[in-house]
Amino acid sequence: MHQPHALGGVMNGSFLHRGSRGSCLVLSSTPTLWPFVVRALGFDLASLTTKDAVFKSVVGDVHPRVVGGGDSGSVQAVFGSATEMSRLPRDHWVQHRVPHVCTLEEEESLPHRKGWVSNTCDFLHNGMGGVTNASFRMGVSVPEERHQILGQPAPFPRQAAASLWNVMDSTVHAAAVTDTDTIAWLERTPADCARPQFYHRLLDPRGVAPRKGLETMKVLAPCVFSPTKWGVRQLSSKELAGVFDVPILMQERLMRMGPAGEQLMRGLCKGHPGKVLHLGGDHLLSLFCRGGWSVGTSGVSDGVRNHREEHQNTLNKIRVAAEDAARLSKMDKGDLLIQGIKQDGQKADDAEVPTHLWDGMWMRSRNEQGFGSMESWMGKPLDTNEGEDQPRWRQALEVMRDKWLLQRWRRNVTKSFCDWFADSVMMGRRSHERPVVRWSERRKVGDRAEPGYVWTYHGRGDYKRWWESLRQKRHGDIMESGREAIERATSATWWDWAGGSSLFFWRWPISHVRWAREGQPHFTTASLPNYKKPQRKAPSSETQELMNAKVNKVRWRRYICLGPVCSLTHMFSVPKGLHDIRMVYDGTKSGLNDCLFAPHFSLPVMAHTLRSLLKGYYGADLDMMIMAKFIAYGDRTDESNPFRWESVVLNLPGDPDYDPTLPWVMKVRKDGHLASEMLEEDETALPRKALEKARGFLIYVGRTYRWMNPYLKGLHLTIDGWRPDRDEEGYRIKKRNRGREIEDELRWKEEEEAFERGEREDLEKHEEGEEDQEAPETVRAAPRFRGDIDALLQLTAGEEPAIQRCRVEGSMTAVYLGGDASGKGFGAAMWDDEEVVYSAGSWNATHSQESSNWREATNLTLKVEEMAAEGRLDGKELWIFTDNSTYESAFYKGEPWTAPRPKGDDDQEKRAFWSRGRGNRWESELLVKLDPGDWFRLQEIKGHRLWIPPPAAMETVMELFAEDHLVNPHLAHVFIVPRLMTHLWRRQLFRDADVHFYVYAGAPFWPRSMHEPLTVAIVFPLAHVP
């Protein structure tokens, strides 16, 4: 297919997915590419018959189980040369009635054997996307019972040829070409790229190559060391290997072996090329074998097979539960739920509680449980008294809540504190260890004896001394905190904390009781400020009245008490709804923020709720602090607990059973439904000027509509383009001092996040030395500003907000797209549950001069657009695989981004990691490896955390880590994650990590077959120093 960016067109094709073809035998006395091709054909190499020791050693790296030599076992196919197969004994043909695929020389034919059918085909190398124009013959011998009888065999579909240019290395020295006629020839586009082109007996690399004499042939070669950028030389061993399709990894392996490896590489170039063996062998097996081939065993162990069956059953249970929920939601009119949606006028803090919704849900639950109607009840509860606006049953509910349930709750709160104080404070501090009483059957009670407890020999004295010492100790702080909490509980109504609220600290986990009572210790980096400047008035009298009401409410509820004033804190307001405000307490102007160290904490966003939602599920808005959320979760095994769950199920991309209609990480109940969740979401954004106000709003909206984020870059560049460290397009100018640049970048990122959370009013003063520079009233639009605004206008042009598709619906599948274009050629392959569709070609002279990042992006972008135009992506989930981090960053953010690295010696960091982490211990506490089942019960896990999750699950892991790090700052966290899907987690992880480094493939515990390096990040525990 012709494409303007491709030299000679684009080669397209497809093939269906096939299961394992079983094991095979390779026969070759000389080096051949068959051992490397059979794996691509779907076979496992069971045995290799060869006399070349070096060749056998290299094959052993690819097929470690191959010992070479004798018994082939129950193979499903035999590969080799026709010469080797002609030497096989008769017993072999009797025992192995399987397809035999072989290579033949020109005009050679297969001998006739009784009970076997033989066929031969000729294949053009350049017709299979190869570099040479040679024809290669292959044959297949099939048992009669397996032979597929055809009329006229279908020819192999011709593919676009590659050029010799694709395998040429311009960094190899060559004799410079200075002849002007030759240079003029090279500047012209070759007339026919499918045939070898010569100029004065010099081979033109822009076409295909001949097979004969190629090793000694002089070639016009690109050369960076030549003044004309062209030279004349022979092909190197590595270039010859590229011509004959030797795998790239094998080329590198052989080049490292020195002369022996180079000799073996030239030996591999004397046989059939790899593309001919691969595509030709597959063509012969599919064309002449009934059923295509014999499917062998997959080699999956029983444990893996059982685990996969269990995983499939769990996913099926979840699908059934989701269908039930969707069916019930269609039957549910949802009148009460629709009424429960917050309107603008209901967002004020003093908005009336919609008690009718709670009463209606009670009545609805009663009806669903099968209770009879109230119409025949004495007192007629469905009637309404004269002068009342509520029926009698609702009035009865209000009385029951206020006069009985509320009183009982207050009594339970008081009793729970008294019991806890007696058990944990009083008796829990006994200083004596020996028993003070014992059981006696004849205890004296007056003049009679009866069973009961009596003092031990030292018991009375021990108890007396303990009681006297206990009376001398003071527990006033505990009693005062408990008294305050109980007093506030007695002032509370059923719907509101009228007298304010205090934590019921005695109900918290033992590890956090003191923090709940006294507060979490502050991490100070300097002395606290002494700021006494008075508060500024609000811009309007109406706003001032609202602010006064907010502050007075805090005072009336005794959150601010009388006492000496050491420092003041300013405050300001931002709109909330239509008629209310939200108070913001500013710790920056007073200098409080400068002397406090606050660990970074990532706030969850709307996308995190999708983990617990399926079609037909409902959600509610609750305000819950993180530690209280862990308490509210309760016992996850209790069947009456609404937050109960049984197991954690991973449904990750790339898994054989991956279902794009389900979440990636799921907490699942026994009935197959997803467990209920509680998530917190930040709603604060502080606008200032017109553009900054728009930016704050769009950043907030972008948390739900992630596809908007790449188009906010123009807005960022415009707002901050006036600064002296920006270029004409608004981008930051790189500094010579790399360490200083990292510090500035980290500080700017932190301030940018603070602005997004509403903790900063502006983003102006983010550079040292800029405090005295006043921001201009107007800013110049960045070059990309208009294009980004046009894109945002087009994306938000609808009357209604866009529907964000979270997951595909129905029985859809995931589509995977991989591609590479860093060299002189390009290619891409898309595979789904049915087939693999591929395309490949060579860049033309113009596009080949572009950067590798540009070629990578262009190759994949054009493929995605082509697939979308053909309808291949309709209703499907697309996954793109690339080894180019720049394109990955541009795909998700609209700009390249490199994660900043903290200063420090990498070697020292690694030594510190291995010395402190040796033996899975962190100083005196265990380093606990967390399994998926542990992620959602971290409050029960004792010890430091070792996270080794799949990269696709890291988004959920980072959400849970952020909560745990805030609740337990005294614990360390170690992350070990392959460097994949980094857009989901790397930026957040590196911001929290104190140390991070990479372990590249090739380490003893991380082999080269893993390709991507391991990311190791360490978050040290925080130590409080008074």
C-alpha span between 438 and 346 (Å, rounded): 64
Q: How far apart are CA 949 and CA 670, in angstroms?
A: 24
At residue 870 the predicted structure's pLDDT band, cuts being 50, 70 and 90, is confident
Residues in the chain, overall count: 1026
Helix (H) or strand (E) run with residue 692 in it: helix 690-702
For residue 1011, give both structure tokens.
Answer: 């390709």
Distances (CA, A) of 203 to 191, 198, 218, 233: 14, 5, 6, 10
94 vs 926, higher pLDDT:
94
Picking from 271, 266, 26, 21, the residue whose alpha carbon sits closest to that of residue 138 is 271
Angle subtended at Cα 718 by Cα 717 and Cα 721, rounded to the nearest 5 degrees: 70
Q: Please say if the pLDDT value at position 857 is more than 70.
A: yes
- Comparing 676 with 40, the larger pLDDT belongs to 40
19 band by pLDDT with thresholds 50, 70 and 90: low
**pLDDT-derived band of residue 606, with 50, 70 and 90 as boundaries?**
low
Question: What distances in angstroms separate CA 665 from CA 861, 895, 946, one per listed residue?
Answer: 29, 29, 19
Write a three-state SS string for 334-403: CHHHHHCCCCHHHCCCCCCCCHHHHHHHHHHHHHHCCCCCCCCCCCCCCCECCCCCCEHHHHHHHHHHHH
Cα 691 to Cα 698: distance, rounded to the nearest angstrom: 10
Q: Which residues pair with 978 in a beta bridge?
A: 1014
Within 8 A by CB and 6+ apart from 759, the residues are 684, 686
Instruction: Report pLDDT for 194.
Output: 67
- The single residue listed with the structure tokens 């049953």 is 393
* Distance of alpha carbon 322 from alpha carbon 617, whole angstroms: 8
pLDDT at 671 over 50: yes
pLDDT score of 906: 37
Look at 829 and 778; give whichever has higher pLDDT: 829
On the 0-12 / 13-18 / 19+ scale of CB atoms within 10 A, 825 is buried
100-141 per-position pLDDT tens digit: 999 998 888 888 888 899 989 999 998 888 889 899 999 999
**985-1001 pLDDT per residue, tens:** 888 899 889 999 999 88
**pLDDT of 892:** 67
Determine the Cα–Cα distance for residues 140 and 119; give it in Å rounded to an integer.
6
Better-scored residue on pLDDT, 671 or 762: 671
Q: What is the pLDDT of residues 308-317, one digit of tens each?
A: 788 888 888 8
pLDDT at 2: 54
| Measured CA distances, 915 to 553, 901, 974 (Å) | 54, 22, 14
- Burial pattern 601-639, b for ≥16 Cβ within 10 A else e, equals ebbbbeebbebbbbebeeeeeeeeeebbbbbebeebeee
Sheet containing 197-199, strands listed edge to edge, beginning at the edge strand earlier in sequence: 175-176, 230-233, 219-222, 202-204, 197-199
CA dihedral 956, 961, 963, 968 (to 10 degrees): 160
Taking only the tens place, the pLDDT of each residue in 318-331 is: 888 877 777 766 65
Ranking 13-17, 366-370, 390-394 by mean pLDDT, the lowest is 13-17
pLDDT band at 949 (very low <50, low <70, confident <90, very high): very high
Q: For 185-238, what is each residue's pLDDT tens digit?
A: 888 766 556 678 888 889 988 888 998 889 899 999 989 899 988 999 999 999
| Average confidence (pLDDT) over 715-739 | 71
Helix axes of 259-268 and 248-256: crossing angle, nearest 10 degrees: 150
**Whether 249 contacts 265, CB under 8 Å:** no
What is the per-residue pLDDT for 108? 85
Residue 896 contacts by C-beta under 8 Å, 6 or more apart in sequence?
Answer: 853, 886, 889, 890
Q: How far apart are CA 999 and CA 140, in angstroms?
A: 46
**pLDDT at site 736:** 47
| Residue type present at position 364 | R
Q: What integer is the mean pLDDT of 31-47?
A: 88
Alpha helices by DSSP H, 137-200: 180-187
Looking at residue 1, its pLDDT comes to 55
- Residue type, position 91, single letter: D
Contacts with 855 (C-beta within 8 Å, 6 or more apart), sequence order:
821, 822, 826, 843, 847, 848
For residue 367, name the pLDDT band (cuts at 50, 70, 90).
confident
- What are 1001-1011's pLDDT values in tens digits? 888 888 877 88
DSSP letters of 215-229?
A: TT--EEEE-TTSTTS
Averaged pLDDT score across all residues of the chain: 78
- Out of 239-248, 645-654, 663-672, 894-903, least confident range: 894-903
414 pLDDT more than 80: yes
HSE-CB for 607 with a 13 A CA cutoff = 18
Beta strand pairing call for 523-524 and 197-199: unpaired
Question: Could you tell me the two tokens for 219?
Answer: 């070639």
Contact 696, 687 (CB under 8 A): yes
User: d(Cα 772, Cα 775) in Å, to the nearest integer?
Assistant: 10
**Run of H or E residues at 312:** helix 302-331
Q: Give residue 948's pLDDT band: very low, low, confident or very high (50, 70, 90).
A: very high
For 79-94, b where at least 16 C-beta lie within 10 A, e where not — what string? bbbbbbbeeeeeeebe
Cβ-in-10-Å burial (0-12, 13-18, 19+) of 1005 comes to exposed
| pLDDT above 50 (res 926) | yes
> Mapping DSSP to helix (H, G, I), strand (E, B) and coil, where does residue 864 land?
helix
899 pLDDT above the threshold of 50? no
Q: What is the pLDDT of residues 514-551, one digit of tens each?
A: 888 888 777 888 888 999 888 888 888 888 998 999 88
Q: Write the burial class of residue 778 (CB in 10 Å: 0-12 exposed, 13-18 middle, 19+ buried).
A: exposed
Q: Which residues pair with 198 in a beta bridge?
A: 203
380: left (phi over 0), alpha (psi -120 to 50) or beta: left
Task: Let me know: does 397 contact 359? Beta carbons within 8 Å.
Answer: yes
pLDDT at 291: 59
Which tokens belong to 988?
């957040």
pLDDT digits (tens, 9 = 90+) for 779-830: 777 788 778 888 888 887 777 777 777 776 665 577 788 888 766 778 888 8
Q: Where are the alpha helices (DSSP H) in 557-596?
A: none
Name every residue whose Cβ is closer than 8 Å to that of residue 117 and which is 6 or more positions away in sequence: 141, 142, 143, 144, 147, 288
Q: What is the pLDDT of residue 67?
A: 47
Strands 877-881 and 814-820: parallel
| pLDDT digits 0-9 by tens, 268-304 | 998 999 999 998 998 888 888 865 554 444 455 566 6
State mean pLDDT over 440-448: 78
Residue 403, token pair as written in the block? 């006069």
| Predicted confidence band of residue 151 (pLDDT cuts 50, 70, 90) | low
Answer whether 795's CB lies under 8 Å from 789's CB: no
What's the pLDDT score for residue 766? 43
Question: For the whole model, what pTM was predicted?
Answer: 0.64
Instruction: Please classify residue 575 by burial: count the beta carbons closer than 10 Å to its beta carbon, then call 0-12 exposed, 13-18 middle and 19+ buried.
Output: exposed
Half-sphere CA count of 438, side-chain side, radius 13 A: 10
**423 secondary structure, DSSP code:** I
Q: Confidence class of residue 504 from pLDDT cuts 50, 70 and 90?
A: very high
Assigned token pair, 179 = 């002849």
Selection from 167-171, 579-583, 836-840 with the highest mean pLDDT: 167-171
